[in-house]
Each structure stands twice: as structure tokens, then as C-alpha cells.
Structure 1
Amino acid sequence: MIGIYSPGIWRIPHLEKFLAQPCQKLSLLRPVPQEVNAIAVWGHRPSAAKPVAIAKAAGKPVIRLEDGFVRSLDLGVNGEPPLSLVVDDCGIYYDASKPSAL
């Protein structure tokens, strides 16, 4: 099961199908449940720093998500669901200073 702190990630339609496993909404005020085996964050945004720190403290891997190469007809902020997502458990494709799964 993948833990999600971000409301933006949580609102992605069909998220569990993209990630191929169930997801659980998490709270920064509660410990990470045992059944959560990874924490998903959006790219390298500053808002990901706290969930990344919590994941490391809990011994859980971090999965970074980003818009895929085929996004959608409109922007995600306008409510358009993504047609693809990049799911990377190593880094993220646009950060050449670190490895990625791409």
C-alpha cells in the first residue's frame, strides 16, 4: 500500500491503477501505518520535503510522481485527469544530478 500526504496527488483519478496498488491517505499528525510500504510525493517540490523526511524516519521508500510525457488536453490544475504519470522510486527524470529509473 502506498501512503499519500498530498491532497493534489490524492485527487488524481484512477491513482491506484497508475500505481498498481492500493493507496491510503495519510496525516502528518499520525505515525505511518505498518501496512504502508512506500510514500508517494510529487517530484522534487518543496512541499515533498516533510513527507520525504517522514518516510526516511519510518524506513519507507519514497516514490516520486510527475506528469507523464503524454499529459492531457488541458492542465491538471483545471481538473483534467492525466493520461500518463511518471512513477520513479529512484529519483525523477528531469533532475540530471541524481539517478532516476528512466
Structure 2
Amino acid sequence: MAELGRTPDAWSDHDFLIITVAGAQESFRQDLSWLPDGERIVLKVRETAHGLKVLHDDGHLLEFAIFDEAEPHLARVNDDRVLPDRAHVEADLQGRQAGRLT
């Protein structure tokens, strides 16, 4: 999704993180009605404690994880673009990408 350093091809999926208020994460993982074309979801797989893979009937794959404001340090990120940055996490993600934070 970030499209930094490379252009997505026809087989690219959407990888993203959601940062939400503490306590709301699991409700977003369980009820996927907030996703575009939610009625077209044919498969939902819980991949990690925070993340899911969701497949639509047209083959479109979403891979995402949902964290609260204190949890972004748990994510493994290689490219990022923050849209929007209401929790001010962009500096943290960029710092970890550059190896300055752990």
C-alpha cells in the first residue's frame, strides 16, 4: 500500500495497519463491516494476535493488523505511509525503519 521504492503489480495485495484507541482493537478484528466491499469477503484468517488476512470473492487480498496507540512497536514494517496520522505514529515507524528505535 505504501508504494515506496516499488510500484505494485497486478498481484499486489493491500497491507496496512490500523491504530485505534485502547480496547477497541478486537472489535475491529471481529466485525469487518468497516472494510470496503465487506459483503464480498469469502475468507477471514487470523494470522497473528493482531493481524488478519481477508480475501474477497474477486481474489483481492487484504493483510492487516490492528493495534492501539501503545502497540505500534509490535509491528514489523518495511515501507510505510501514514494516512492519516491522528496518533502521531509516523515518526516512530520511520525511526524503527531506519534502525534508530527497537
Q: Which has the higher contact order (CA 8 A, sep 6+)?
A: 2
Higher relative strand content: 2
Alignment TM-score > 0.5, same fold: no
Q: Give TM-score scaled by structure 2 length.
A: 0.33
Larger radius of gyration: 2
